[in-house]
A and B are shown apart, each in its own frame.
Chain A
Amino acid sequence: MGEVKEVSVGDIGSRAAEADPEFKAETMALNVGPSHPSTHGVLRLMMQLDGDLIKECEPVIGYLHRGDEKIAENMTYNQFIPYTDRLDYLAPLSNNVAYAMAVEKLANLEVPDRCQAIRVICCELARISSHLLGVGVYGMDAGSWTVFMYTFTEREKLYTLFEELTGARFTTSYTRIGGVARDIPDGWLGRVDTFCKGVLPILNQVDKMLTRNRIFMDRTVGIGVISKEKALSYGMTGPNLRAAGVDLDLRKDKPYLGYENYDFEVPIGLNGDCYDRYLMRAEEIKQSVGIIRQVIGSFPEGPYYAEDAKKIFAPPKDKILTSMEELIQNFMLVTEGPQMPKGEVYFEAENPKGSLGFYVVSKGGGVPYRMKIRGPSFCNLSILSELLPGHFLTDITVILGSLDFVMGECDR
């Protein structure tokens, strides 16, 4: 940012102020948000501006706080699943999976291969949908409406697939502790494959429109640079961290759901600027498409839930309707909740926005004693007060767009 400062009004002001305190230019306080289109939700920024230059910035969060962690203490493990949809509401499926995996880790329960494969597809589709939105909205923030149209058309197709799989487009609530709510519908995998085929040309189209576009590059290259050290010290995760050049991807480093069996690459950036964060998301979509194709190619047969975990997963409906034992089991499960041992676990999964962690404390029984959720957007946003000063007001939209956060998860 060095050369920009040279010509800025702010600097002239501060030089004048140095010479004679009488000339000290006053800074202006500017408030952006909490409801402002470029803050993607309810983020509020309080800034001190010197002309167009940001001197100080203080993000104010908490406008979407719903007390999810406390709510979790008051209900059984399965009842909390609809609430996980509302964390990162742009990728609800991967939240569902991360939560279920955390509780399964507590119960020391392995889900069958088929269930794992379904969950991998869910996670990667969620990643694609989240990144499609990320890239599209980012393009729109930088002034390219067309990109938004392209990516949203694709995202719409994805939502149709989610709707078929889970019964809802947005609030999927798909996983259960020990499995998933229902098996995949007939022919669904084929349709996922068709989607994967269709999304790649669209990505090329977006690539043609943005990647070498001078207007886009002027607005993003060298803007919002986050160094490796900064990113790590602020606890950033996900694409934003990898764009800064750190190759941390939990799917590779702490494989879960059998990610070690799939062949994919983790893209990393060199500069950590806004442009890198765009390249990152575009490349990750391609990698996710690759993973989905591999899963479809070797899709395992078998049950979609852990059949022997009788105290955790509800018996099939047919049995509940016809046999006394299963009926009682169903009643116990619903009223008491899935039975967990005493203990504490922490599990984090590589979600589209970064690593989403659940820390569950259990004193036994079907209700968590305490739950802590680590929202990646919260950590990714904490850097704003250091990142924004020194940039122009117009850069805010681009920087916020490139960070791709979601307030539902930040405020929880």
Chain B
Amino acid sequence: MAKTKVLERKPLTFSEKTYIPQIASGLAATFVNMFKKSVTLEYPEVRPVIPENYRGVPTLVKDPKGRVKCVSCQLCEFVCPPKAIRIKPSEIVDEESDRAHIEKEPAAFDINMLRCIYCGLCQEVCPEEAIFLQDSFSLSGYTREEMVFGKEKLLKLGGTLPDNHFKWDKKKSAEENTEKDH
């Protein structure tokens, strides 16, 4: 059977019954704490330290060459438990881009921040590392519409993150190499 420890209790001593030791130790605690460093922060003047990998507001990011990484595979839209994401996929319309008519990009990408629970599942499933929960954590707005963040706003919030893979560039150069071989 389980190894247990019985919680005994002793009757109060005479001095304890007079309340005096407790009052004295209470006052002592107050006195000691007056000289301790305060544990609270003067938010919002002083900001808390946000650790790496914090799950704040979800944002869309660009790669270092300034291209939108999202290919609108809609996996994040599918996984999002409160269904906060709405995506309208489209082809890349910018004819200048080397990815035009090949890869896709979202025509519209809305996250309803009033529904989002910052769970991080979208970041976890994204096969392009295009959506990241970054370190901003306090959002506010005057209307509900304002809190549905569109693609431009999400990209602005997200900024550019370093990329270790350059998936597209590798694919492109591999294709060019095979073309040369033929």
Contacts and interface: CB of A to CB of B under 8 A. Distances in A.
A158 to B, nearest CB: 13
A330 B127 contact: yes
Interface string B123-148: 01101110001000000000000000
B7 A168 contact: no
A212 B13 CA distance: 9
Interface in A311-341: 314, 317, 320-322, 327, 330-331, 334-335
A253 interface: yes
Contacts, number: 124
Interface in B72-118: 75, 78-79, 81, 117-118
Contact of B117 (A82, A215, A267, A321): A82
A267 B75 CA distance: 48
A385 interface: no
Nearest to B117: A82
Given A163-B54, A167-B55, A275 B5 contact: no
Contact of B121 (A82, A243, A265): A82
A24 B4 CA distance: 50
Which of A167, A213, A253, A317 has the most CB atoms of chain B within a 10 A radius of its CB?
A167
B79 to A, nearest CB: 5
A209 B29 contact: yes
A100 B127 CA distance: 24
B3 interface: yes
B12 interface: yes
Contacts of A321: 127-129, 165, 167
Contacts of B133: 167
B29 to A, nearest CB: 6
A247 interface: yes
A265 B2 CA distance: 8
Contact of B39 (A80, A153, A322): A153
Q: Secondary structure at chain A's binding surface: helix, strand, loop or mixed?
A: helix
Contact of A213 (B1, B22, B129): B22
A314 B124 contact: yes
A75 interface: yes
Contact of A283 (B7, B52, B75, B129): B7
A269 B7 contact: yes
Contacts of A80: 81
A365 to B, nearest CB: 16
Contacts of A331: 75, 127
A265 B165 contact: no
A247 B4 contact: yes
Contacts of B53: 167, 182, 185
B4 A267 contact: yes
Interface of A: 75, 78-83, 146, 153, 156, 160, 163-164, 166-168, 171, 173, 181-182, 185, 205, 208-209, 212-215, 217, 243, 247-249, 252-253, 264-270, 275-276, 279-280, 283, 314, 317, 320-322, 327, 330-331, 334-335
24 contacts: A79-B81, A80-B81, A81-B119, A82-B121, A146-B26, A153-B39, A167-B54, A168-B54, A168-B118, A171-B118, A173-B120, A181-B120, A185-B53, A214-B12, A249-B2, A252-B3, A253-B2, A264-B3, A267-B5, A268-B6, A269-B7, A283-B7, A314-B124, A334-B75
Given A163-B54, A167-B120, 15 more contacts: A79-B79, A146-B26, A146-B30, A164-B51, A167-B55, A168-B55, A214-B19, A214-B22, A217-B12, A248-B2, A264-B3, A265-B3, A265-B5, A266-B5, A330-B125
